Structure 1
Amino acid sequence: MALTTYITSYCSILDNTLTLNGETVWTSDTPLFADFSKKAYQHLELQYPKFFKMDALSKLAFLASELLLTTLPGNTYEGTTALLFSNRSSSLDTDMKYQQSIADKKEYYPSPAVFVYTLPNIGMGEISIRNGLKSENSFFIFEAFNSEFMTNYANLLIETGKATAVLCGWVELYQEEYRAFMYLVSKEGIKIHNQENLENLYNR
């Protein structure tokens, strides 16, 4: 018999709004992500200067993880917590910025600070460092949020003992279009972790 897993907590960042477990935490009328992310950082009263060196995709993932994990008891996610993320555009937003830095032969200056973030999974590394996670992590690219894949993969990690919890997320950002949907899966929680419940939460 398959082990029943649960969604412990979930959050979203969409339309300049932070939402936790279905409740609006904070909203802003700031149109640009750079400004919104800075204000969200201030609202959450974070103390992590490295945040300002991150690319936009990593900032989005980091903010969602902070919104989610800081509301949970430490032992809920510490230890063998795996990370499972996905999106549609990979790191294309940062890739384009890096390409611009090398396209002009007269102003040729490939920035190492930008190049670091030309992989979508770097944000997972930032989250792992912040929370002391030394666990499995995978980042997949899909055309749209793939609830079936995410459900099966997260459940498999827990069922096989690869992880005691899985931090899952859809973290999509391209230019000024962005959305984060993040949730923690474990053996205890508020909703059974299955495809139907996941779809309902994502589409709220």
Structure 2
Amino acid sequence: MEQHKYSISKWCTVSDETVSRLDQVVFEGEKGDFAAFAKAYYKANEIDYPKFFKMDALSKLAFIGSECLLMDEEFEKPSSDIALLFSNASSSLDTDLKHCESIVEKESFYPSPAVFVYTLANICLAEVSIKHKLQSENTFFVSPRFDIDLMYAQASYILETNRAKQVLCAWVEYLEGTYQFFGYMVSPYKQGEVEHTRENIKNIYKR
């Protein structure tokens, strides 16, 4: 099979109540308060997705980072042109703990359904897909660290087999107030863009 050339067309990081895109800070929120920061980002960018306020923290983090990467993408909706590959280390553990707490507090086996619905990490994929009307390949991996080899191989496979025209890859980790989003778009190569290689992913991630 002929190998095509792809690029990392853009990237985004979200941590410490700061959103950066292409290494430039595009938004800063109140330090030490993720919930307030997430709400402020939503309002500042005039996002229209009321369900955002009911999401768990992991989904809000994935949503913010994905919005930063997708908000200026022009594509027909619904679309199967953009695939999603997300990963993290703790899956939905932050929400799982809240789910357990709600059982103890209520002393019953009928905890809040609003919390229970987010006890799967891949729900954040659904939220991003619904917002942008994506009907595409999507997968959530759980690994101890950001696995560059895995993400590179999976993104390359999706593109080479024509399952999508672009892939949004992201590390989305949230646990008890500590969080990090690192995401990037893999697209057909354009002159001047960063080539999609393992080494370039590593270099951007470590900046």
- Amino acid aligned to 2:48: Q
- Amino acid aligned to 2:87: S
Which consecutive aligned stretches of 4+ in structure 1 deviate over 4 angstroms post-superposition? none
Residues of 2 paired with 1:29 and 1:81: CA distance?
32
Q: Which residue of 2 aligns with 1:191?
A: 194
Residues of 1 paired with 2:170 and 2:106: CA distance?
39
| Cα shift readout 1:73-127 (whole Å, capped 9, x = no counterpart) | 336x943221100001100000000011112464664111111000000010011
Structure 1 unmatched ranges of 5 or more: none
Cα distance change, pair 22–78 in 1 and its aligned pair in 2 (3 A): farther
Provide the aligned length of Structure 1 versus Structure 2.
203
The alpha carbon displacement at 1:8 in A equals: 1.6
Residues of 1 paired with 2:50 and 2:120: CA distance?
21
The alpha carbon displacement at 1:154 in A equals: 0.2
Q: SS state of the match for residue 169, structure 1? A: strand
Q: Which residue of 2 aligns with 1:118?
A: 119
Matched-pair identity in % = 45
Q: SS state of the match for residue 71, structure 1? A: coil
The alpha carbon displacement at 1:188 in A equals: 3.0
Q: CA RMSD in A?
A: 1.7
Cα distance change, pair 61–32 in 1 and its aligned pair in 2 (3 A): same
* TM-score, scaled to structure 1: 0.93
Residues of 1 paired with 2:81 and 2:110: CA distance?
41
* TM-score, scaled to structure 2: 0.92
Structure 2 unmatched ranges of 5 or more: none
Q: How does 1:48-197 map to 2 (within 5 A)?
A: 48-74=49-75, 78-104=79-105, 106=107, 109-189=110-190, 190-197=193-200
Cα distance change, pair 53–104 in 1 and its aligned pair in 2 (3 A): closer
Q: How does 1:27-66 map to 2 (within 5 A)?
A: 27-66=28-67
Cα distance change, pair 72–80 in 1 and its aligned pair in 2 (3 A): closer
The alpha carbon displacement at 1:5 in A equals: 1.2
